[in-house]
Amino acid sequence: MATSQVETVTTGADKAKLGAAVALVIAALAGFYLLAKQGQVAQWGALIVGLVAAFVVFVNSETGKEFVAFGRDSWKEVKKVVWPSRKESIQMTLYVIAFCAIMAIFLWLTDKTLEWVFYDLILGWKK
């Protein structure tokens, strides 16, 4: 029996990049709150610059490259999907609503029938 195992090799440099990305996110958040007295432009500027820097460092790591490749492949798959037309969507929605209504009536009738059988016929508890 053959089992395939995926081995992830992360180098020290790759771990350092991920650590730097996390540190940049923390620094961006700290800068946002520490620059409250400087005004909103400074706050948001520090936050955006820090987050963009963290994103750039993350994308240059092996994990980031895999994430970008995954996103690219996912987008290719989404493009392959054949989406239903408006008419088909409306028809399917109406089918679902009709099925729900029929099922609701069926369950209501089943409930009332069982109520009648147990309470009126078997136990004799008339209302």
Same domain, 41 and 73: yes
11 or 42: whose pLDDT is higher? Answer: 42
Q: What CA–CA distance (Å, rounded) separates 80 from 53?
A: 33
Is residue 2 in some structural domain?
no
pTM above 0.85, yes or no: no
Range of the domain at 51: 11-81
Is residue 3 in some structural domain?
no
Evaluate whether 31 touches 60 at the Cβ level (below 8 Å): no
Same domain, 44 and 77: yes
pLDDT tens for residues 3-16? 556 555 568 888 99
Same domain, 33 and 70: yes
Look at residue 122 in the predicted model and tell me its pLDDT: 86
Is residue 111 in some structural domain?
yes
- Average the pLDDT over 61-73 and give the result: 94
Whether residue 90 is predicted with pLDDT greater than 70 in this model: the reply is: yes
Same domain, 69 and 97: no
Look at residue 7 in the predicted model and tell me its pLDDT: 53
Look at residue 125 in the predicted model and tell me its pLDDT: 78
